Structure 1
Amino acid sequence: MTLSSTTPEAADEIAYLDQAAASDAGRQYKRNLLAALDLRPGNAVLDVGCGPGTDLPSLASAVGDAGTVIGVDRDPVMVERAQQRTAAHSRVEVRAGDAHALPLGDASIDRARADRVFQHLADPAQALAELRRVVRPGGLVALADPDWDTLVIDDTDTATSRAYTRYITSSVVRNAAIGRQLARLLDDAGFEIASVDASVVLFRDYHSAEAILRMPSVAQRAWQAGALDEQAARAWLLRLTDGPFLAAVTFFTAIGRAPATDG
């Protein structure tokens, strides 16, 4: 598939991912996640669910000319865009593949990351079993995901704000509470827990929040599904647009280390 044939939906998703990464909150947690991976020159690094390749160049810079960066994504449009974005980086390879069955050999990776990926997976435990398989003894895995169950949006109509969050957790995000589960899932997969962190992503203006939370489109889906009263939701959106605005969600990161020796 060429970019000229990319669907509007795919183009919108790429734009959304890029916009989220470029936001203040996105830049901050990505810096923290990169630091937690403790990348060294010569490392082999895996980016699971790499999307359009937003973070692959920074990973490549961290591991240098002697290192290797492998991005894996199941969406062919994302794979193509990531390949184009990293064409100038000879040590970056982008592969089509599934997080549940990674296209890599056993113990072939020094560092791995999955950024806002596990919230979408059909079987997070299987994906972690795959990471346990491909990461070398002593290697690190960094996971980052929001916990959508903690989303709050301030408005005088608290019931609609709560109903909006409930719709996201029940109908929009597959694993809405995955953030709080990351450390436990790492432990269940046999990783040693190196660190766990939680931070609140705070939005104080409507437009920066809308770029990430997509309130109008999600609210429309919710009232069409009968999860929100349309009249109340339209009034809610209007008040949010007029401000003052405040919304917040808790974002979790968890770092696991593969045991130095098996057995």
Structure 2
Amino acid sequence: MTSTAFETATPDPIAYLDRVAATDLGRSYKGRMLDELDIRPGQTVLDLGCGPGTDLASLAQAVTATGTVIGVDHDQTTVDAARERTADQHTVTVRLADLHDLPLPGHTADRARADRVLQHVADPTRALREMHRVLRPGGRLVMGEPDWDTLTVDHPDSDLSRAYTQYVTDQVIRNSRIGRQLPRLATQAGFTVPSVIPITHVFRDARAADRILGLERTTRRAVAAGHLTEEGARRWLDHLSTGPFLAAVTLYIVVAES
């Protein structure tokens, strides 16, 4: 079942986040999220689920020296990395905290962003209510989340493609359909949602797709979980690594106002 075309070792989480940010897809949607935030000099901006601080510098540049950027993440290793990366930026602080219970007073921030984090949290509704609580009236939250049910990978055997996507949707990602659910959940949390922006990225290169999707690693897990047979997995990977390749997935940018 192993294909030399694809990665077999799970990448370091921080290295993976940096990798995604450096792709055309990462630069495109992150730039659109920054545009939609419409940050003004002097504002206070939250990066909720900031990871290793990939986006903190661009937020700090937007608020200028008169503003404040607060990164929040639940993982100590990524918080440490974010603090190290922003040590020379006096407008940035990074806090270790849970998005379900933010250590911030109400009406603290003018802007907030949440980038591919709500797909992983235990309770997206509770997290959204916390985001609403800490934003000032008239504040803006911009979220970017994939909808993994939109993942399509072309293969001559469409049953294998369906089985693979179903495994990703049902077993790999906790809140796999959060992209399409965000407008409803944000409205229920007290926000208004003026715009929803779908971004569909098409992969034409199998190796580039693998660096984001982990095709072989995920296929191995699907076999272990009974979603694919060994023989089916072999045919799946053989075609993906040798035949013409096409895959696509849609990420939704949702703009919410408090």
| TM-score, L = length of structure 2 | 0.95
* 1:185-204 aligned within 5 A: 185-204=185-204
Aligned to 1:63: 63
Aligned to 2:150: 150
Aligned to 1:3: none
* 1:9-20 aligned within 5 A: 12-20=12-20
Aligned to 2:5: none
Cα-Cα RMSD? 1.1
Is residue 99 from structure 1 mapped to residue 110 from structure 2 by the alignment?
Answer: no
Aligned to 2:81: 81
Structure 2 CA distance for aligned equivalents of residues 46 and 111 of structure 1? 6
Structure 1 CA distance for aligned equivalents of residues 35 and 67 of structure 2? 17
Deviation at 1:192, TM superposition (A): 1.4
* 1:144-223 aligned within 5 A: 144-223=144-223
Structure 1 residue matching 2:52: 3-state secondary structure: coil
Deviation at 1:194, TM superposition (A): 2.1
Deviation at 1:224, TM superposition (A): 1.1
Aligned to 2:111: 111
* Larger relative contact order (CA 8 Å, sep ≥ 6): 2
What is the total number of aligned residue pairs between the two structures? Answer: 250
Structure 2 CA distance for aligned equivalents of residues 98 and 140 of structure 1? 20
Letter in 2 for 1:196: V
Deviation at 1:256, TM superposition (A): 0.8
Is residue 256 from structure 1 mapped to residue 256 from structure 2 by the alignment?
Answer: yes
1:206–1:243: 8 Å Cα contact kept in structure 2?
no
Structure 2 residue matching 1:71: 3-state secondary structure: strand
Deviation at 1:247, TM superposition (A): 0.1
Greater displacement, 133-142 / 242-251: 242-251
Aligned to 1:138: 138
Structure 2 CA distance for aligned equivalents of residues 175 and 255 of structure 1? 19
Letter in 2 for 1:238: D
Letter in 1 for 2:127: A
Q: Which runs of 5+ in 2 are unaligned?
A: 1-8
What per-residue deviation string (whole Å, max 9, x for no partner) do you get for residues 49-79 of structure 1? 1011100000000110001100000000010
Structure 2 CA distance for aligned equivalents of residues 237 and 57 of structure 1? 39
Letter in 1 for 2:94: V
Deviation at 1:139, TM superposition (A): 0.5
Structure 2 CA distance for aligned equivalents of residues 243 and 86 of structure 1? 44
Q: Which runs of 5+ in 1 are unaligned?
A: 1-7, 259-263
Aligned to 2:41: 41
Structure 1 CA distance for aligned equivalents of residues 230 and 13 of structure 2? 26
Deviation at 1:243, TM superposition (A): 2.9
